[in-house]
């Protein structure tokens, strides 16, 4: 086994965060023509729809993680031995 389960989980967490920052701006419109009165920032979207973005991030990052694990376990990306 080229990598252990903790490393596999760490790779998934890194994939999840990278995909999250790629997905966050999708569908966010900052065009607001009236000034915010509820203390919100001018650039903040009215409806960020974070639940849908977190679900999308989870399945996209899982798919990316599976591809990375296949590349590692098939030997296309040989990992150096540290011992």
Residue 9's domain spans which residues? 1-24+49-77
Q: How many domains does the chain have?
A: 1
> For the whole model, what pTM was predicted?
0.76
Render pLDDT for 23-76 as a digit per residue (tens, 0 to 9): 998 877 656 566 767 766 776 677 788 999 999 999 999 999 999 999 988 888
The answer to whether position 43 is within a domain reads: no
Is 30 inside any structural domain?
Answer: no
Which residue would you say has higher pLDDT here, 22 or 48? 22
Q: With a cut of 80, say whether residue 12 has pLDDT above it.
A: yes
Residue 31 lies inside a defined structural domain of this protein: no
Task: Examine residue 70 and state whether it is found in any structural domain, yes or no.
Answer: yes
Q: How many CA atoms lie within 13 A of 15 on its CB side?
A: 20
Residue 36 in any domain: the answer is no
Q: What pLDDT does 33 receive? A: 64
Cβ contacts of 36 within 8 Å, gap of 6 or more: 42, 44
The answer on pLDDT for 14 being more than 60 is yes
């Amino acid at each position: 086994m080229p990598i252990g389960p903790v490393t596999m989980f760490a790779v998934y967490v890194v994939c999840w965060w990278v995909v999250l920052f790629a997905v966050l701006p999708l569908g966010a419109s900052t065009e607001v023509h009236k000034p915010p009165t509820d203390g919100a920032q001018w650039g903040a979207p009215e409806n960020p729809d974070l639940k849908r973005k977190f679900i999308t991030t989870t399945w996209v990052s899982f798919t990316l993680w599976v591809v990375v694990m296949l590349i590692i376990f098939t030997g296309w990306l040989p990992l150096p031995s540290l011992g």
